[in-house]
Amino acid sequence: MKLSKTTWWMIGGSVLAVSGIGLYLVLSKKKKASSKGAIATANGIFPKEGTPQSVTQKARVKQEPNWNKPFNYGYIDDVKAWLAPKKIKELPKVKAIALAKVLKQAKGTFNDDEKAVGNVFGKQLRDKTQVCSVSRAFYDVYKKDLWQHLDSFLSAKEMQINVTIPVRKLVNY
C-alpha cells in the first residue's frame, strides 16, 4: 500500500503533536517536583502554624538620630541610645552654662556681639552633642529656647555665617 503525500504530512504532524504534549507533561512534573521540594524545605525551616514558639533573643531596632537637629533638647539622648553601650564624652554642665551666659550677653541693646556667637559655635564647641548641651543649659538657666534667642537679634545672613555653617561642620557626636 502506497501512502500519499498528504497522509505522510498528517502522520508527521500527529507524531510531532504527541511528542510536544509528552515533553510538556514531563517538564511540568519536574517543575512541580522541584517546587514541592522548596515547600518541604520551607516547612522544615518554618514551624507549622499554631505550634508554640520560644524566643531566645529579642530584636531591637536602633533609630539613627536626626543629625541636622542638634539644638533639640533630646538630641544627646538620641545619640546615647544609638551608640549604646558605648559612652560619649559630654560637655561639663559648668562649661555649658558659661557658654550659655556668653550667648545671652551677646544680645545688646544697640549693638550685638556677633563675634562672640561665632566664637562659641565656630571655635569652642567640638561636636553637635555639645551644641545640645549648651542649648539645654540655656533653657535651664534662662527658660528660653537658644535658637529663638539667637534668631531674635541675628539677621538671616548672620545666623548662617555664625551659627548654621559652623554647626554643620561639627562632628555628629
CATH code (residue 101): 1.10.220.10
Q: Are residues 114 and 156 in the same domain?
A: yes
**Euclidean distance between CA atoms 160 and 150, whole angstroms:** 11
On the question of pLDDT at 39 being above 60, the answer is no
Q: Are residues 42 and 79 in the same domain?
A: no
Q: Are residues 79 and 117 in the same domain?
A: yes
Q: Are residues 37 and 80 in the same domain?
A: no
Assess if residue 123 is contained within a domain. Answer: yes
pTM: 0.63
Within 13 A of 28's CA, how many CA atoms are on the CB side?
A: 6
Assess if residue 137 is contained within a domain. Answer: yes
Q: Are residues 42 and 84 in the same domain?
A: no
Higher pLDDT among residues 173 and 22, named by residue: 22
Q: Which three cell numbers stand for residue 87?
A: 559612652
Q: Are residues 18 and 83 in the same domain?
A: no
Q: Are residues 90 and 18 in the same domain?
A: no
Q: Are residues 95 and 151 in the same domain?
A: yes
Q: Are residues 153 and 91 in the same domain?
A: yes
Assess if residue 62 is contained within a domain. Answer: no
On the question of pLDDT at 42 being above 60, the answer is no
**Euclidean distance between CA atoms 64 and 82, whole angstroms:** 6
- Give the total number of structural domains in the chain: 2
Instruction: For 25-51, give the DSSP string.
Output: HHHHHHHHHHHHHHHHHHHHHSPPTT-
Strand partners, 104: none
Question: Could you tell me if 126 and 171 are in contact, meaning their C-beta atoms sit under 8 angstroms apart?
Answer: yes
Assess if residue 66 is contained within a domain. Answer: no
pLDDT per residue over 136-146, tens digit each?
Answer: 999 999 999 99
Residue 131's closest CA among 87, 109, 100, 158? 100
Residue 7: band (very low, low, confident or very high) from pLDDT cuts 50, 70, 90: confident
Q: 117-133 burial, b for 16+ CB within 10 Å, e for fewer?
A: bbbbbbeebebbbbbbb
Q: Are residues 79 and 40 in the same domain?
A: no
Domain that holds residue 16: 1-46
Assess if residue 15 is contained within a domain. Answer: yes
Assess if residue 141 is contained within a domain. Answer: yes
Q: Are residues 117 and 39 in the same domain?
A: no
pLDDT for residue 57: 61
Collapsed DSSP state (helix, strand, coil) of residue 164:
helix
Assess if residue 110 is contained within a domain. Answer: yes
Question: Could you tell me if 88 and 30 are in contact, meaning their C-beta atoms sit under 8 angstroms apart?
Answer: no
Q: Are residues 164 and 87 in the same domain?
A: yes
pLDDT for residue 41: 46
pLDDT per residue over 59-117, tens digit each?
Answer: 566 778 888 889 988 888 888 888 888 888 889 999 999 999 999 999 988 889 999 99
Assess if residue 56 is contained within a domain. Answer: no
